[in-house]
Amino acid sequence: MTSALVPAPSTSITYAPARAIPQPLPPVVEALCLDIDDTLVDFTGSARAALSVLIGRDDQWDTWQRVTEEHSALVVSGLLDYDAMRHTRTKAFLACLGTHLDDATIAALENRRLAQAIGSCRLFADVLPCLDWLRAAGFRLAAVTNASAPRQRERLAGLGIGRFFDTVISAGELGAAKPDPVIFHTACARLGTAPDRTAHIGDRLDLDARGARAAGLHGLWLDRAHTGHPADPGIPVVDSLADLPALLVTEYRTPTVTSGSPLPTPRA
């Protein structure tokens, strides 16, 4: 006897709709720190031209930078004040070239060099439009420099941009220089922001971008020289401050800005 085949009961399988995986939100940035020399101000251009006037040639810039860095460290450590450093630095530099002069002559030459550098100092063309936009967008701003604070404040005021900054942080006044976390944390404290809600941008990958990131800020690198060197993962790179607003509204969440906000147009 054969048994009849009994059809299996029909079943209806209902699949739940796929759930979207939530994407992490971009970090919040509500304040920005900016380096000064070679970020806002063409320091190298003016200082190099002044040095050429001083010695009559343009082949000793690397030596000048090395001697300057050595003597600037003495200012940061409190062993020299800024004016004494200038004269001591210039005397040591000229001695490296085999020129030994008395202190009065050194002082006259250094004062002439400094006046030349100050007189030829200029903002980069992208600075004013960017600072205007940052202020209009509601960012709190700090200038963070390894140079002398009085000289830098005079420079910012003379170039018409001192009004943009809530504070100026100087390595010489603080006793700590970039990339020391102390200088970045001091800037955040004066701005009233947490490091993880603050970004810092500068022309030095090591001192500015990496230093800021190591201190818990968002480090940004301004590669004005178009070096092509790859930055570290997690460090955004721009080659002009004209690109900074777009970076801030696309990669970060900001207090009052959206990606549809108008961005600045660089000056000609």
Structure tokens at 187: 């800037």
In a domain, 7, yes or no: no
Q: Does residue 261 belong to any structural domain of this protein?
A: no
Q: Which domain holds residue 176?
A: 31-42+123-251
For the beta sheet containing 31-34, the strands, ordered from the edge strand earlier in sequence to the opposite edge, are 167-170, 140-145, 31-34, 198-202, 218-222, 237-238
Q: 35 and 145 share a domain?
A: yes
User: What's the confidence (pLDDT) of residue 19?
Assistant: 67
Are residues 233 and 138 part of one domain? yes
Instruction: Record the tokens describing residue 102, joined without a space.
Output: 């008395």
Task: Output the pLDDT for position 260.
Answer: 45
Q: Are residues 159 and 98 both part of a single domain?
A: no
CA distances from 14 to 8, 11, 17, 32 (A): 18, 10, 9, 52
Whether 222 and 143 map to the same domain: the answer is yes
Q: Are residues 48 and 171 in the same domain?
A: no
Question: Which of 119, 142, 157 finishes a domain?
Answer: 119
List average pLDDT for each run of 10 residues in the chain, which is 268 residues long: 54 61 82 97 94 93 94 88 91 95 95 91 96 95 89 90 96 92 97 97 96 97 86 90 95 70 50
Whether residue 215 sits in one domain with residue 142 = yes
Domain presence at residue 148: yes
Do 166 and 36 lie in one domain? The reply is: yes
* 21 lies in some domain: no
Residues 58 and 178 in one domain: no
Q: Are residues 81 and 144 in the same domain?
A: no
Tell me the pTM: 0.83
- The CATH number of the domain where 222 resides is what? 3.40.50.1000
Domain count, the chain: 2
Tell me which of 103, 119, 135 is where a domain ends.
119
Residues 148 and 36 in one domain: yes
Whether residues 97 and 136 fall in one domain = no
Q: Is residue 131 in some structural domain?
A: yes
Residues 177 and 139 in one domain: yes
Would residue 211 count as lying in a domain?
yes
